[in-house]
Structures are given as structure tokens and as C-alpha cells.
Amino acid sequence: MAKMDRCPICNVAVKPENLIRHLNDNHPRHPDRPGLLEKLKEEPGRIRKRQAGRPFRVRRWQIALVAVIVMGGLSVVYLPPLLSGTPVFPCIRQEGGLLYHWHTDLSISSAAGSVSIPAGIGIGAFCLEPIHTHDATGRIHIESDTAHRYSIGDFFRVWGKSFGSPTAMHVNGTAETPSPDVILYDLPETIHLQYDSFP
Ligand SMILES: [Zn+2]
Ligand SMILES: [Zn+2]
């Protein structure tokens, strides 16, 4: 068995080469510690010898590589939200969708008048969301790569607006109980929402 020392402060058994670390870790504020350390450092075998070897040299290309990795990681984390907002739905691969491309005409009015629905909802620098607007006419484009059906509530989420509580909802001219779950189908589908005040 290896020869053990005892800590002069707490009397616990410690390997000789670990005594200095033990004092630093376990008795950092003990008044005897500085004096003990001075003595111990002079005794042979207290400090583990470093392995002799070539000093590690950092090459310039290694710094560059680390920088590229760090910057790449940062841009993945920060760039999309900065440039395009965090998409609500997975981006579609191309304009026109791959499975279906429908349109629904939305109009919204409030006591203050008609509410404008801007162009470019759901269209980011790097992401085209499956529900988006190309112009300010209220025409919603639903262009999907999957068989998923989208609702008017989904459109509001992409828009970043709360669906709130409309006082009336008309789908293809027929009054319905207002609900964000109404599915967006193809023209001639129209949806009209009436609010006291638009959220
Ligand atoms: Zn489109
Ligand atoms: Zn379209």
C-alpha cells in the first residue's frame, strides 16, 4: 500500500503528493494553511512532477478552425431569428408547395374600419412558410409539402397576431361560430372576421 500522510489540520489520511491540494481544497481559510504550504513545498515528492514533453503549441490554423466552428454555431443560433423570425411551421422547399397550393381570401373588419393584412406574412429571408401572403389583398396562400391542413388560427400564428375573440365569422358568406380551427381550403373560399377592436 502507498505510504500515506495525515493532514495536520484534520488528520485525514492523504497521499503525500496530494497533501498540498487537500489543504487548498479542504482548508482554504485555515490560519495554519499558508505556513504549512511553505514547508510542504520544500519537501521532495510533494509536487507531482510534470511529464517532460514538447510544449503544446497552438498553430494559427487551429485558432482559425475554432473561430470558424464558433462563428458557425453562433450564426445557426442567432441569424435565422434576426433575419427571418422564428418560423412557426417548417419552411417549404419551394414556392408553389409540392403537394398542394390553395388560396383563401381573408377580410377582417373592426369597429374602426377594415383591417389591412400586409404582404409578406410568412416570407422570411431564408424561410417560406407554408401559409403566407404575397400581397396586401388578404389572399392567403397555402402551399404545402405535406398533407397537413392549416387553419385560420395557424395563419394568425404565422402573422404573429392573436386570433382574439371575433364577434362574427363568415365562411363563404355563411355565419359560423368564430373559431381559430376553421381550415383553410382553396378558392372560392372566403373568410370574414368581425372584431369590436382588432387585437
Ligand atoms: Zn406563395
Ligand atoms: Zn399562391
For 178-194, the pLDDT digits (tens) are: 999 999 999 999 999 99
Q: 62: exposed, middle or buried (C-beta count within 10 Å: 0-12, 13-18, 19+)?
A: exposed
Q: For 147-174, what is each residue's pLDDT tens digit?
A: 999 999 999 999 999 999 999 999 999 9
Q: β-strands 174-176, 13-14: how paired?
A: unpaired
Rounded distance from Cα 144 to ligand 1 centre (Å): 10
Rounded distance from Cα 150 to ligand 1 centre (Å): 15
What ligand is nearest to the CA atom of residue 105?
2
Report the range of poorest mean pLDDT among 12-16, 51-55, 97-101.
Answer: 51-55
What ligand is nearest to the CA atom of residue 140?
2
Q: β-strands 190-195, 100-110: how paired?
A: parallel
Beta bridge partners of 92: 128
For residue 41, pLDDT beyond 90: no
Rounded distance from Cα 177 to ligand 2 centre (Å): 27
Structural domains of the chain, with CATH: 5-42 (no CATH), 100-195 (3.10.20)
Rounded distance from Cα 153 to ligand 2 centre (Å): 19
CB-based contact 153:134 (threshold 8 Å): no
Of 162, 143, 139, 164, residue with least CA distance to 89: 143
What's phi and psi for 99, nearest 5 deg? -115, -45
What's phi and psi for 174, nearest 5 deg? -105, 130
Rounded distance from Cα 163 to ligand 1 centre (Å): 22
pTM: 0.59
Percentage with pLDDT > 90 across the chain: 52
Rounded distance from Cα 174 to ligand 1 centre (Å): 27
Rounded distance from Cα 188 to ligand 2 centre (Å): 13
